[in-house]
A and B are shown apart, each in its own frame.
Chain A
Amino acid sequence: MSETVLPAAQQIFLDPMIWGVVIVAAFYGVFLGAMPGLTATMGVALFVPMTFWLEPLPALAAIVTMVACAIFAGDIPTTLMRIPGTPASAAYADDAYLLAQRGEAPTALGIMLWFSVTGGLFGALVLMLLGNQLARCASWFSVAEYFWLYLMGISCAVIVGGSSVARSLLGLLIGLLFSTVGLSAVHGQARFVFGQPELFQGISFIPAMIGLFGLSEVLRGSLGLDRSLTAPTAAVQARSLLGPALSLFPTRILAWMRSSTLGALIGILPGAGADIASWVSAAVSKRRSRTPEQYGKGSTECLADASAANSASLAGAWIPALVFGIPGDSVTAIVIGVLYMKNLKPGPEIFETQGVLVFSLYLIFILANLVLLPVGMLAIRTGGLIMRIPRRVLLPVIVLLCIVGAYAVGGSLFDVWLMFGFGLLGLACERWKISIGALVLGMILGGPLEERFVQTLAGGDGSLWAFVDRPVAAGLALVCLLVWLSVAVSAHRSSRLLAAGDSEV
């Protein structure tokens, strides 16, 4: 071990080149994540040509740092404008935004920053110690196991979602139905496209997400423009940004460890990344919480656990990429290309032949998260200036950001129409308290869920036994069943409570 640790540490911490690259990449990543519509993936793809001039290690360092910072920075527009900067922030968008509306934006952002950093560090540690062994878990997962995993993922939306189970479920089903628009991945046949060539690819969920969260909030805010005299005054220049986070941290050590471990494990599975990690973690967190009624209404526990999980998942995604050459998420897909470009062949032997490189990679994760702390604080303070702009001026600017963000994904004005339509839908959902988060998750996971569903059926020649005839699949199915049972029980209990409350009135 020590013959890899020492040279790796020297390579990372003593090289000014690495430091320089990491710091520049941190700023770039924060900037990118904070811009609505631009995901971490897009940023990394934009960066690929630059890796030509870099040695493998600085190139990988830049990618790691960029993504870690972008995932946190996505929380900034989520909190201040309710536009999730990256899909990973959608799970707790309402909690963060409501806290900001109460003037607690610095608290919320400070918590998210602190837990992102520590979650990322924990994720890196888990991989450093267990990465090689954990890689094997990924190879247990066939399409049937993925089917149950995705099903559990969408169930989380129902757990996290607002007041009523039925309305979260409604949002989820609407989202799932939207996800079936376009050419189906398995059959290659067009569905619900109404002759629109743009719809063949399906409804891209980033414009939809920007519309549902961002534009609908502008529309809603403009409704009350003449009534609210004072813009929510958030003292972002509060004396201590991290104070509340640091006092929260000791009370949530166990939750933090649980969320980070969960995030790292989800990250390892190809096809499940930061977005699913934050949903699952938020759901588990709500189930274990003593104040579940706060979730969705500005719960700091939810913010802490979900941010820790989505940052911890990032390192996990590198494991299948390094070991099997199978990307754990869209970013590592690009990383594999970069590795090949640098003549580094992924595969199980990379741990032996490139032991120093792999260990250096872990250290880069640690370095990236350490750099994120000051850079993130700077970004929060800069972003906080937004809160001082009067709402009459801010809302039109947000409209432009929504438009450009929706357009940036595919360079198509059709996406702007989509964003607009989903903005109106979002307004309607708010009116009837249908969970928007569940809707977005349904759209994200609908495609993969259907694919695994049909693949499992086809693999089993149409028999439903194919879903449970492997031990891991059966185990996951059982967990799924238990989750639903517990949701049903608690829904039943809360409806009885509600009925009791009604009779008192």
Chain B
Amino acid sequence: MILRRKLAVPPSRPPQVRWLSRSWIGNSFVSVALGLLLFALGCSAEREFPNQPISLICPWSAGGGTDRVARQVAAQLESELGVPVNVINAIGGSGVTGHTRGAVARADGYTLTMITVELSMLHWRGLTSVTHEDFAPLQLLNRDPAALFVRKDSVFQSLDDLQAAIDSAAASGKKLKASGTAYGGIWHIATAGWLDRRGLAPDAVNWVSINGAGPSIQELLAGGIDFLCCSLPEADAVLDAQVRCLGVMSDERISGFEDVPTFQEQAHDWSIAGWRGIAAPRETPPERLQVLGDALARVTATESFRDFMAAAGFDISLEAPAEFAQTLQRQDRLFGDILTSEALRGVSGEHFGPLMFPTIVAIGLVVVLVVVSIELWREQAVMIGETSPAGAVEAAAGDGAEPAGSAGAQNRFGYPVAVAVAVIFYIVASEPLGFVTTAMVMLAGLLCAFRVRLPVALSVAVLTALVTYQVFGLLLRVPLPRGFLEW
């Protein structure tokens, strides 16, 4: 009734509203028919694993080497498995965020992780308790040896040049700067390990903690750092044109980069490589691991995957689950030895603590808060006798404001409370009930609380819930909560 009364006010009633206030029977017929239609569309998926979108967690930022491989695998896995495979860049904390999120994810096979060499390093540095034992390995994809780069116009022509410069700079107290990844990341350890092998202190170089090879290359080009350590393919786009590679930390030259000399050739006995692979959480059911492992084996065997890896310069190196598990164990021991050695223990700290920036902000906040309080107090003083401050909040109060009825005055705060209750209801109920049911109940309840007539409320609730499900759940592939009805 109320809705009708409200709607009668504008001079010409818009067509949309006329449709809404049709008879109860007509309304429900339309919504039931549409509901059935949409239900039929929504339920076409079969129930065999996998039947939901799969997430592939990438612990590194979009556009980097790991991300590119992840996106390629995801795209091919998607056509192999017939369900969407979405890459999620869970970045930060030198890879802690992504690996942790992948390890603690629900072990149902719908969350995979692109694990990288950092998995073998992070727990040795005490940054996380997650190790390779928290994962069920599925497929090793590639290995990339570390390499050192300088700008094209740099005076350093060889590793010996660079080593001498590092040595003399450190002695003079103005250390050379380098980067390639965050502090304590694989390329940092590769650099520090090399320095250690050459008899220099691992911190003879000032390592600037920059997340990812892409931004580090930018930094090298801008002259912010003196040299860069990352893999060859990561620097491929600028190699020879803007940067020069002094050497790759491997025993043999890398295919696709045959011009680049190895460390061994320059009599620097040091080799180290990063690797990437796909894994699922440890407790994932074996039959699902089988499905995923087989699919990955097929993907990595395809011509297009090999072509992609070759084109991007990634050194392909495939290992099936059993073999990969052994590699993981060997890697873990290797990095354990390096990271716990006396010389390298020093690099595990960072000079500028994590609470420095928040502290600066907090101090500023307190100062500004005092200023604002004074301002508010002054305004209050001015306002006395002018207008009532409570009315200032509502911009919505229009020109034709009707004197609020007795019910309206009581319910003024009832509406926002109803909104809050509705949101909390959704959060609590959507996992057990599923999206569509929850959304319908929530909307119907909220519409009734807003005093919309029941038939209108019900049809709007049913239609909106179904359309939202179609748009977000099916078209845009948002993994909406499924509930016990799987809907």
Chain B 199-212 interface mask (CB, 8 Å, partner A; 1/0): 00000001111110
Contact A221 B382, beta carbon cutoff 8 Å? no
Given contacts A164-B375, A227-B394, whether A407 and B423 have CB atoms under 8 Å apart is: no
Tell me which of B23-31, B336-344, B424-432 binds A.
Answer: B424-432
Minimum CB–CB distance from B139 to chain A (whole Å) comes to 19
> Out of B207, B358, B412, B443, which one reaches A400, CB within 8 Å?
B443
**Binary flags per residue of A176-187, CB closer than 8 Å to B gives 1, else 0:** 110010111111
Q: Known interface pairs A226-B411, A459-B225. Does A400 touch B354 (Cβ–Cβ under 8 Å)? A: no
The segment out of A59-67, A322-330, A482-490 that lies at the interface is A322-330
Closest chain-A Cβ to B457's Cβ sits at a distance in Å of 8
Q: Is the CB of A183 within 8 A of B397?
A: no
Q: How far is the CA of A192 from the CA of B354 in the complex (A)?
A: 11
10 more A-B residue pairs beyond the given contacts A188-B93, A399-B419, with a C-beta to C-beta distance below 8 A: A170-B368, A183-B96, A186-B183, A227-B401, A347-B238, A392-B450, A396-B443, A404-B478, A457-B351, A459-B224
A228 vs B398: C-alpha distance when bound (angstroms): 5
Q: Which of B147-164 contact A (CB under 8 A)?
A: none
Q: Interface SS of chain A: helix, strand, loop or mixed?
A: helix
Q: Which 3 A-B pairs have the closest CB atoms?
A: A142-B224, A325-B237, A333-B63
A451 proximity list for chain B (CB < 8 A): 211
Contact residue among B10, B17, B91, B357 (Cβ-Cβ distance under 8 Å from A180): B357
Cβ A232 vs Cβ B62 within 8 A: no
Tell me the nearest residue of chain A to B91, going by C-beta.
A185
B369 at the interface (CB under 8 A from A): yes
Q: Given B67, B386, B477, which contacts A333 in the complex, CB threshold below 8 Å?
A: B67
A450 touches B221 (CB 8 A): no
18 pairs of residues in contact across A and B, judged by CB atoms under 8 Å: A35-B476, A48-B75, A141-B218, A180-B358, A184-B92, A188-B184, A227-B394, A229-B402, A327-B214, A337-B68, A348-B241, A390-B20, A392-B450, A393-B456, A416-B427, A423-B423, A455-B208, A462-B352
Tell me whether A400 and B442 are in contact (CB under 8 A). Answer: yes
Do A337 and B72 touch (CB < 8 A)? yes
Docked complex Cα distance between A326 and B395 (Å): 46
What 1/0 mask marks residues of chain A from 195 to 235 whose CB sits below 8 Å from any chain B CB? 00100111000000000000100111111111111101100
Taking the closest CB of chain B, its distance from the CB of A144, in whole angstroms, is 7
> Quick one: which of A232, A423, A455 contacts B398, CB cutoff 8 A?
A232
Of B101, B177, B238, B446, the contact of A325 (CB 8 Å cutoff)? B238
Residues of A contacting B87 with CB < 8 Å? 45
A166 within 8 A of partner (CB) = yes
Chain A residue nearest in CB terms to B20: A393
Verify B439–A400 contact, CB threshold 8 A: yes
- Interface assignment of A464: CB less than 8 Å from any CB of chain B: no
Task: For residue A316, give the distance in angstroms from its CB to the closest CB of chain B.
Answer: 15
Residue from B75, B352, B402 within 8 A of A454 (CB atoms) = B352
Assembly CA distance A20 to B356 (angstroms): 53
For window 447-485 of B, CB contacts with A under 8 Å fall at 447, 450-452, 456, 460, 464-465, 468, 471-472, 476-481
B397 touches A340 (CB 8 A): no
Is A38 an interface residue, CB under 8 A from the partner? yes
Asked whether, in the complex, the Cβ of A227 is within 8 Å of the Cβ of B402, the reply is: yes
Residue among B78, B352, B368, B446 making CB contact with A173, cutoff 8 Å: B368
List, in ascending order, chain A residues with CB within 8 A of B397's CB: 224, 227-228
* Pick from B55, B127, B396, B476: contact of A221, CB under 8 Å: B396
Contact B16 A336 (CB under 8 A): no
Residues of chain B from 197 to 243 with CB closer than 8 A to chain A in the complex: 206-211, 214-215, 217-219, 221-225, 236-238, 241-242
> Which single residue of chain B is at the shortest CB-CB distance from A347?
B237
Are B224 and A144 within 8 A (Cβ)? yes
A10 cross-chain contacts in B, Cβ below 8 A: none
B348 to chain A, nearest CB (A): 10
Please determine whether A220 and B396 come into contact, CB atoms closer than 8 angstroms.
Answer: yes
Say yes or no: is B301 at the interface (Cβ < 8 Å to chain A).
no
Is residue A345 contacting chain B, with contact meaning CB distance below 8 A? yes
Taking CB atoms, residues of chain A closer than 8 Å to B364 are 169, 173
A148-174 vs B, CB cutoff 8 Å, 1 = contact: the mask equals 000000000000000010110110011
Q: Mark A392-426, 1 if CB is under 8 A from B, else 0.
A: 11011101110110011011010011011001100
Among A32, A38, A139, A417, find the residue whose CB has the most chain B CB atoms closer than 10 A: A139
B206 and A324 contact, CB distance less than 8 A: no
Q: Is B1 an interface residue (CB 8 A)?
A: no
B481 touches A413 (CB 8 A): yes
Most buried by A among B62, B242, B405, B465: B62
From A145, A345, A396, A424, give the contact of B222 (CB < 8 A).
Answer: A145
Which residues on A sit within 8 Å (CB–CB) of B371? 166
